[in-house]
């Protein structure tokens, strides 16, 4: 057993990506952010679908069509493969813990 809120460093210089489950068809990641955003140039353009939930903190996702979605605790979103998106804001005060299912 482990806890999704454990082992979160006080200082988070770079976003932390950790695999929780990895099979041929599935990847589950814990992502920890604290103020980080996607690189300026960077839209995520993924070959897999991504289901994303915020478990603490908050994050704002922007789609390439300009739509912005604020995700707070418990909010989840399904991002289809090749739906270009990026993270434009995450909580500075507390760590944002994301659980992401790539499938």
Which segment (9-17, 34-42, 75-83, 87-95) binds a copy of itself by CB under 8 A? 75-83
DSSP H or E run through 36: none
Structure tokens at 33: 């952010």
Rounded Cα distance, 16 and 36, in Å: 10
Among 45, 78, 80, 94, binds a copy of itself (CB under 8 A): 78
Which segment (10-18, 38-46, 69-77, 88-96) binds a copy of itself by CB under 8 A? 69-77
DSSP H or E run through 30: strand 27-33
Among 12, 53, 60, 100, binds a copy of itself (CB under 8 A): 53
């Amino acid at each position: 057993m482990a806890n999704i809120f454990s082992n979160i460093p006080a200082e988070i210089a770079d976003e932390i990506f950790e695999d929780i489950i990895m099979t041929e068809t599935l990847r589950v990641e814990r992502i920890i952010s604290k103020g980080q955003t996607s690189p300026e140039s960077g839209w995520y353009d993924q070959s897999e679908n991504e289901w994303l939930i915020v478990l603490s903190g908050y994050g704002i996702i922007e789609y390439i069509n300009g739509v912005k979605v604020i995700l707070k605790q418990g909010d989840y979103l399904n991002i289809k493969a090749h739906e270009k998106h990026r993270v434009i804001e995450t909580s500075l005060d507390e760590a944002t813990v994301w659980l992401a299912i790539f499938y």
